[in-house]
Chain A
Amino acid sequence: MNGRREFLRRTLAGGAAVAGTAACPSAHARGNAEIPPEAIGLLFDSTLCIGCKACVAACKAANDLPLDYNSPVDALWDMPLDTTARTYNVIKAWQSGTGTQRNQQTDGYAFMKSSCLHCIDPSCVSACPVSAMTKDPATGIVQYDADACIGCRYCVAACPFGIPKYDYDSPTGRIGKCELCRHLLPEGKYAACAEVCPTGATLFGKVSALKAEAHRRLALQEGAPTTWPRGNLDTADQPAWEGPAPRYVQHVYGEKEVGGTQMLKLAAVPFEQLGHKPLPERSFSSQSETLQHTLYGGLVLPLAVLGVMSWVARRNVKHDDETDSQDAHAGEKRHD
């Protein structure tokens, strides 16, 4: 009876210790990661998008991606309904009622871009066990290295936006996702989707500048004439155009969500209706890493437990060996 009570007591004490460290992670708590000062990204303004999908085609070309048929039976159209390992960017159409009024909630329609948001504190990077998914310290681009990847798909499962995708149809399948055309940056080019966009709905630039531009737009009076930059906001490589301001939903999606993203989005229709779930401001990776480093930081806790266990086991195993080897010998004798 004493033994059982002691067992329960120790189990409870151990449990409380783990629970304590898990619940009060002050020692190794980390908040959301900071954005690199020179981080680059995109501003997508749903109100400007006309659904031409030039960006979808340009993305395919820039990244040298294979065709992605809608259906293997009717292999005619490369128009997947969502991003895949072979399609990094799609434009999704939303409509309600008769779907005739552009950027209106009732009887309206709107377009939304779906591609990597390049989180400031990405879950996929925190999840990846082999550093195949990393965040560039300068540009902040969330980049993928297929040569390092083991294909565990933890990144696919972890991403709150469902962005990294795996190619299940290939024996050597890899993860596919937008990497903000990082291979074009050394050539002085920038994200193909922004470069090709005829209305400036997808705009490339430094995140700080894009954020300022987003807030400028939100402050506009509905119908007030304003200029709409296109292409690269930092270099103004393409001429801007003039037009009236729409009525925006007062929310820059990506400014706060899961610690912020380098892709910012504006819309005239509530984001939830455009397939963008509300997300908390604290990044999931900071929660996961705080817990992990509280338990395993410097291996202090595991080594302490190992020390205690070794000490206790040593005391208890000694006698056990003696009886054990006696038993073994007895057994062998009986064998002979």
Chain B
Amino acid sequence: MTEHIHAAPAPVGGRLLTPVTFTCGVLILAALAILAVRFVLGLGAVTHLNDGYPWGIWVVADVVIGSAFACGGFSIAMLVYIFNKGEYHPLVRPALLASLFGYTLAGVGVIFDLGRWWNFWHILSPAYASPNSVMFEVALCISLYIVVMWIEFSPTFMEKWGMRDARRKLNKVMFFFIALGTVLPMMHQSSLGSLLIVFGTQIHPLWQTMLLPLIFLLSAITIGYAVVLFESCLAAAGYRRSIEMHLLTPLAKVMLGVLAVFMLVRFGDLLWRGALGHAFAANLQAFMFWLETACFLSPFVLLRSERQRRNPARLFVGGALLMLGGVLLRINAFLVGYDTGSGWSYFPSVPELLVTIGMFAIEVLGYIVITRRFPVLPREDAPPTATPAALRAATR
């Protein structure tokens, strides 16, 4: 590994109660209240779920999209430890933290959606094992990955609490957990796409393909980089820190590279199956397909040259649009492109949306609390090289 001396991670410090954390707290309380109703009266009391659309946003947003957004840790770990790009090391911890929250919440979020949640443990019990089921594999992999990520992240707590021996021992075997931490997401991020294959012709041809696992995996990896761009810009703005442009500019290039592979696979598959014609029909599915495609293509325009990739505003918007493309791919494949027969419709209810918003609020709140109190973000001793004001001036 090429030598890279980076500033060690350190707590950001500062007050925990801010307008942002307070808002998150309120949103979380609202979500908890709705969940209380859901557990007493049933799913129908708070959601618009029905037998034509048995899966709503609690599955698609909280779990499928939530876990894709949580691929930052996986994508950066691949870059640093597998492709030996040590220069990106300062991004590992913050990305891993966001992933940890994303996945842990996705795991907990599943329980809110399960109609018979008290049987949840069956999915991990050999007595009920169902190896033919794609969901069985997804559940096992995600559960295991959450444990692996907590292990990967534990040095942060060990440093805080001065457990130097434990940290040294863990370091000896960390490579194995890092390796597991790349294989498990590959398995379940692809399988989150494979979930739809058994739906057969109920999924619109623009999204139903045997290449779903590859399409979902590649999009998750590229979303992982987009999330890091998005988060780094947001953390820099929120904490008035300098933006790590020397890392984010080349990272954006990596992101575009993976995105290009994704687009080749996506459109190659559509052409090969002869399904691209459906994109020119005058219906909602075709419209949503082009919206999704536009989001995936926009980073190529926004971040086309080195000069543009040095612009934090463009990195932020490019990352956000790529994330939106990933959101649309998943919503389209699971909901817009899903047709189980005439007469059924679904649009999430307000309480349903509030729970999903509350879930993302937990992530934001947790990220703020941990980065302020635990060593996650790189220490920033020197005066910021690029303050938000300077950045604004630079982007003009």
Contact = CB atoms under 8 A, between A and B. Distances in A.
B258 to A, nearest CB: 6
B175 A314 contact: yes
Given A152-B115, A287-B198, A316-B81, A331 B375 contact: yes
B367 interface: no
B274 interface: no
Interface in B25-55: 39-45, 47, 49-52, 54-55
A160 B339 CA distance: 10
A151 B97 CA distance: 30
A22 interface: yes
Interface stretch (B182-190, B231-239, B281-289): B182-190
B228 to A, nearest CB: 16
A15 B265 contact: yes
Contacts of B89: 320, 324
Interface string A160-192: 101001111111111000000000000000000
Q: Is the interface of B mostly helix, strand, loop or mixed?
A: helix
Nearest to A84: B51
A323 B171 CA distance: 12
A292 B176 contact: no
Interface stretch (B16-24, B129-137, B320-328, B354-362): B129-137
B73 interface: no
A332 to B, nearest CB: 8
A4 B44 contact: no
A163 B243 CA distance: 54
A170 B42 CA distance: 5
A10 B257 CA distance: 12
A98 interface: no
Contacts of A277: 201, 341
Given A130-B123, A309-B182, A313-B175, A3 B198 contact: no
**Interface residue tally on A, bucketed by range:** 35 or more
B197 A287 contact: yes
A4 B85 CA distance: 10
B81 A317 contact: yes
Q: What class of interface size applies to chain B in its complex with A?
A: 35 or more
A310 B81 CA distance: 10
A147 B358 CA distance: 31
B392 interface: no
B7 interface: yes
B302 interface: no
Contact of A171 (B42, B47, B129, B341): B42
A288 B159 contact: no
Contacts of A170: 42
A319 B84 CA distance: 11
A284 B123 contact: no
Given A127-B134, A309-B182, A327-B6, 20 more contacts: A3-B85, A4-B254, A6-B83, A12-B261, A15-B214, A19-B265, A22-B213, A123-B200, A131-B128, A156-B51, A157-B54, A166-B54, A171-B42, A284-B200, A295-B213, A306-B183, A309-B82, A316-B80, A325-B168, A327-B8
Interface of A: 3-4, 6-8, 10-12, 15, 18-19, 22-23, 25, 82, 84-85, 123, 125-132, 146-154, 156-158, 160, 162, 165-174, 258, 275, 277, 279-280, 284-285, 287-289, 291-293, 295-296, 302, 305-306, 309-310, 312-321, 323-325, 327-328, 330-332
7 contacts: A130-B122, A146-B116, A152-B114, A157-B340, A171-B40, A309-B183, A312-B179
